[in-house]
Amino acid sequence: MFTLAHLSDIHLAPLPAPRLADLTPKRALALVNWVRQRRFLHRREVLDLLTADLLAQRPDHIAVTGDLVNMGMPQELIAAREWLNTLGTPERVTTIPGNHDVYGWRRGASDFGPWRDYMCSNAPGTGQASGPSQGHHAGFPFVKTYGRIALIGTSTAVPTPPLWATGRLGKSQRRALGHLLSTLGDDGFCRVVLIHHPPLPGQASASRGLEDAAEMAESLACEGAELVLHGHNHRPMLAFAQGLRGRIPVVGVPSASMHPDSHAPSARYNLLTIVPAGDGWRIGLTGRQYGPDGQMHEIERLHLAP
Ligand SMILES: [Fe+2]
Ligand SMILES: [Fe+2]
């Protein structure tokens, strides 16, 4: 059995003091938003309790599906790297970027330097199967394999105007992803896709959603996958995509730092258990949530597949 812990939307606090040179219009707006509202929602003490509970479960691997920071400032990326180190080494932890991680970036600029070893392939010959993606998506998709489990990391993080939170995979990443899903499926891997934005049409509003969700859904339908994990909406979500050999569970988690007094569901992570079963995989889910009593509680136990 392989146990994968999934958390997302860390929105790491405290926010480092911004440098004047880093304050693009989008970041300035985000800073006002943080001071007035978001710092009361995304709390470090909540995140710390959640991660302590998660580590006590001793999962085989931990997946963090984006929005690690708030405004994509260089000093935030360094602070998030230090936080990733507290979760574990890149052998045990995988992350992908979200829209908040590229806030205020210029088109074409791409530097996830501090996080790179948490988001790159661990198997020679995998990843970049159809040629490298360009610009912000350079290095995506990547693949980490653990036995017959393959974690496929994607990037939907692209710079957007103020008040927009859309994402995009882009044509070259989608092509490489389709090729990976196909070859890993042929080789009998359990394919777990990590993506920040909810991947299916209609799962988020036009100003917050994945622009190429229809193409992503088509890719899943043509090539298949065993599980898709996402964040971004800050609430628990469960949908099923139509896959090559049946339904594919598509699972979203709330923000891992959300305080219970917020309008959004409080902090939560999921434990996914993956067991080979016949010529497929049996997948279970256990949800653990931060309660109003300041403790973590198991709140859900589900069978996702078959
Ligand atoms: Fe988020
Ligand atoms: Fe997001």
What digits encode the pLDDT tens for the residues 129-183? 445 566 678 889 999 999 999 999 999 999 999 889 999 999 999 999 999 999 9
Residue % of the chain over a pLDDT of 90: 84
Residue % of the chain over a pLDDT of 70: 94
Give the largest CA-CA distance in the chain.
58
Identify which ligand lies nearest to the alpha carbon of 166.
2
Report which of 226, 270, 264 is spatially closest to residue 248, judged by C-alpha positions: 226
CA–CA separation, 11 and 132 (whole Å): 29
Query: Secondary structure of the chain: what % helix, strand, coil (to 5)?
Result: 30, 30, 45
Distance from the CA of 279 to the center of ligand 2, in angstroms? 35
- R_g over Cα of the chain: 18
- How many helices (H) and strands (E) are present in the chain, helices listed first? 6, 12
Burial degree of 82 (CB within 10 A; 0-12, 13-18, 19+)? exposed
Distance from the CA of 9 to the center of ligand 1, in angstroms? 4
What values do phi and psi take at 45, rounded to 5? -70, -30
Report which of 122, 123, 67 is spatially closest to residue 96, judged by C-alpha positions: 67
Distance from the CA of 277 to the center of ligand 1, in angstroms? 34
Distance from the CA of 134 to the center of ligand 1, in angstroms? 24
Q: What is the pTM of this model?
A: 0.96
CA–CA separation, 223 and 216 (whole Å): 10
What digits encode the pLDDT tens for the residues 8-51? 999 999 999 999 988 888 999 999 999 999 999 999 999 999 99
Apex 266 CA angle, 264 and 272, nearest 5: 115
Question: In Å, how far from its chain's centre is CA 301?
Answer: 21
What's the pLDDT at 129? Answer: 46
Distance from the CA of 168 to the center of ligand 2, in angstroms? 12
Provide mean pLDDT across the span 95-105.
91
Q: For the chain, how many structural domains are there in total?
A: 1
Average pLDDT, the chain: 93
Question: Does residue 110 have a pLDDT over 70?
Answer: no
Distance from the CA of 272 to the center of ligand 1, in angstroms? 21
CA–CA separation, 237 and 292 (whole Å): 21
Distance from the CA of 167 to the center of ligand 2, in angstroms? 9
Token readout for 259 is: 């305080």
| Strand extents, DSSP E, the chain | 2-7, 61-65, 93-96, 142-146, 149-153, 190-194, 227-230, 237-243, 246-252, 268-277, 280-290, 296-305
Identify which ligand lies nearest to the alpha carbon of 210.
2
Question: Who has greater pLDDT, 103 or 233?
Answer: 233
Query: Residue 200, Cβ neighbours under 10 Å: how many?
Result: 23
Distance from the CA of 1 to the center of ligand 1, in angstroms? 30
Instruction: Give the pairing type, strands 237-243 and 149-153.
Output: unpaired
What's the pLDDT at 132? Answer: 53
What's the pLDDT at 21? Answer: 87
Question: Does residue 5 have a pLDDT over 60?
Answer: yes
Distance from the CA of 26 to the center of ligand 1, in angstroms? 15
What's the pLDDT at 22? Answer: 86
Distance from the CA of 203 to the center of ligand 1, in angstroms? 15
CB 71 within 8 A of CB 24: no
What digits encode the pLDDT tens for the residues 189-227? 999 999 999 999 999 999 999 999 999 999 999 999 999
Query: Residue 40, Cβ neighbours under 10 Å: how many?
Result: 12
What's the pLDDT at 145? Answer: 97
Question: Does residue 56 have a pLDDT over 60?
Answer: yes
Domain limits at 184?
2-305
CB 116 within 8 A of CB 169: no
CATH code of the domain in which 211 resides: 3.60.21.10
